[in-house]
Amino acid sequence: MAFTLYSLLQAALLCVNAIAVLHEERFLKNIGWGTDQGIGGFGEEPGIKSQLMNLIRSVRTVMRGIGCLLAVPQLEGWKIPGPWGPCN
């Protein structure tokens, strides 16, 4: 049951990657979650669905830059010194 900070970091990285690889044209448009299909009016406050779509779009934008740098330690298999857990 070794739920350590490092495993949390790994899990978060995998989740963010999963969100980032959702393809805009092939997938999101087909289930009605494309970014050009959701922009409602300005007066009403956004519902959960448009918030989620915004989140997916921003994760994709961010991952293309900084996120790839953050993934390098995991991909390269670097050992980060510290009491992170037995899997490190």
85 lies in the site for another protein, by CB under 8 A: yes
4 lies in the site for another protein, by CB under 8 A: yes
57 lies in the site for another protein, by CB under 8 A: no
75 lies in the site for another protein, by CB under 8 A: no
Please spell the DSSP secondary structure of the chain, one letter per residue.
----HHHHHHHHHHHHHHHHT--IIIIITTTT--TTS----SSSPP-HHHHHHHHHHHHHHHIIIIIHHHHHHHHHTPPPPSS--TT-
68 lies in the site for another protein, by CB under 8 A: no
Exactly one of 18, 55, 68, 80 binds another protein (CB under 8 A); which one?
55
